[in-house]
Every structure is written in C-alpha cells, then in structure tokens.
Amino acid sequence: MGSMPKALLLENIHPLAAESLRAHGFEVETRKGALSERELIDALEGVDVLGVRSKTTVTRAVIDARPTLTAIGCFCIGTNQVDLNHAAKNGIAVFNAPYSNTRSVVELVICDIICLMRRIPAHTHHMKHGVWDKSASGSHEVRGKTLGIIGYGNIGSQLSVLAEALGMSVIFYDLEEKLALGNARRCETLHELLNEADAVTIHVDGRKSNTGFFGEKQFSQMKQNAIFINASRGFVVDLDALKEHLDSGHLSGAAIDVFQNEPKKTGDPFSTPLADEDNMILTPHIGGSTLEAQENIAQFVSQRLEDYWFKASTMLSVNLPQITTGPCKGAARIAHLHANLPGVLAKVNQVLGEQDINISAQALGTEGEIGYVVTDVTKCPDEVTIDALDAITGTIRTRVIES
C-alpha cells in the first residue's frame, strides 16, 4: 500500500483505538474536540482513515474536497453525521458500533426511571437549599408500573428485558415488525402507548424523518403524572413542549440526555430552559459514555477499519456491499468498487486475463447502486493493469493490497 497510512481520530475517541491502529501500522493523529466543515477539510489533508463520534459532520463538501479518504469510522451508534450515499459513491467505506454501548444506555435509562419515580432530583434540589422534605408524596416504586418504549431496536429491546426484571410491565411501539421479548406487548399505535405508559422513553434512530417526531401532540396524549425520557437524538423531541407539560403539572418529571444544539467539546458553555424544572435529570449526552462502552467501541470500530484497509473486508459497513474476507490466497488482493452495472465482473476478469494474472479467489457483492468485487491474484498487478481496471466503466475506486 506504499507509505504508512494516516488516521485522524477526533472527539476524544478512547485511546485503545489509536493504540490498535498504530499497532497495525497506521500513523495516528488525535484531537479532543469536533471540527467544523472547513476545519475538517483542512485537517484531512493526506489522511486515509477518519474517526469521529457524533458531533463532527462529514458532508458532501468534505468528501469532495478529500477524494483520497478511504474509510470513516463512527465511534458511536449512529451514522447520520456522515453523508453515507455520497461516501459510497466516492469509494469511502463507513463503519460504526451499533451494539457496543447498548448496555450503557440501557442502564442510564433504568437509573433515570427509578430516580424520577422516587423524585430524587427534586429531593436533592431541596436538600441542597436547606429544605427537609421527608414525604412519600409523588414517590412510587417502579414495580407494577408500565414502561412505554418507542423504538424496539437494540437498546429498546434490551431495556425491555431489564425493566421486566424490575417488575415493570412493558409495552412498545415500532414502525417495523419486531419480536417482543419476555412479556412485552406491542402497541398498534403510538397513541395507545402514550395513553397507557407511566414512563415513556424514546429510542429511535437518527434518520431525518424523525426530526420533531415527539412534540405537543404526543405530550398531550401522555398519562397524568407520567415521566418522559429521551436518550436517543436531540432533534427528535420538542423541549419547549416538554417544558410546558412539566410546568402545567401534567408530567411529573423528565430526563434528557440529548439536545438539538450541543457544544462541540467538553467545557464549552451550555444552557437550557429545562434547568429550573423541579424533577428533572439533565445529562450531557453520556448515554454511551462509560469506560466499558468506549473501550468496546474503540476496539470494535478500529478492527473494522483495519480489516477494510488491510483485508478489503466490508463486514458490517453501513454503506457498501457486505464481503467478509480472510487471509489473502495469492500475492495480492485487488478490491474493485464500482457502480452496480451489468458485466463489471466479467470486465475485471478480462483485464486480469489479458495481463496473464491468475485468480486464486474471488468474491462479489452488490447493494443498491454499488458493486464490490475482491479478487486474490497470483502476482501483483502493475500500473498498466491498475489503469485498465480504473478504466472500466462505472469504476469508483481500485485498491491493491499486497500480501
């Protein structure tokens, strides 16, 4: 692959990621905070692999400005901060960690539910201001209460299991057909869930269509004295509407971990009108921020990046066809990413045949508009061969990995 590949890791990604990449031959630069579009373009000069979390946005402009960028690792659950389609069309593989911090988020939500039901934030506030308010008024056990989970994916389903273990009844709503775990029950409509749940928690993904998903209409349908939790995405919930329903006494408490506009880095100022609410838990987007989760994410995503760079494996890529590769069965491996057009595989093999290059193993995958063929060959292709592969109609990127 020529000179030592370079990786740039932003936003305080756990040091294990840099250690792993360095151990595999990468030159690694790390930065603490997120970068703006212009800053990111400047920082990506000469960079092959980029690592981000949730606050750095990789836009079309960034991708167009740095065409040699080969892979992006999102060291978090979501990938909505990256223009995935444009990345794919420019030959950039994107990876994330969809499961690594699931448990951490679930535990925070369980903690929030118990604390809000017992009015711990309110009691703590009173104690700090010298008020002794030993009263059971408004405090409840979670046992026997109904938890409504909106979004029954990896986090929602695991939350379901733990909540049942605490004695809660669990109902959920999801647009897709999902298998209910334990005794959880699926609601046919969101309205049904909101009318029944004593606690409502949101766990939807970051797709743009979820913007403003939960607002005045939905809050008005919740039970009297219910609690509300959002640890998914900041743009999903109308916090002004939430404040109104807290101030009116309709809802008894809330916990918010994500916000529409979050500071770029630790230490930056932050304010929210929810700060003066009585029974309120505010956390700075720490749902997945445990040492265990960050270590798991660092290990998982760096492994995906290493496998893609050195083995051409797209296993668990979110924007390219899935091909899992083992050790190279030849002198070199050719990874050919292309538009999903008829006959590309035949043309690749024709080029290799014309150059007297034997194929020892080959795999092809297609997904949507993208095709990906990985070919192990008995001798390293020269520049003439690579140029011929690049000249095939629809070619996006050709990479050669020597054994």
Q: Which residues have a catalytic role annotated?
A: 233, 262, 285
d(CA 391, CA 373): 15
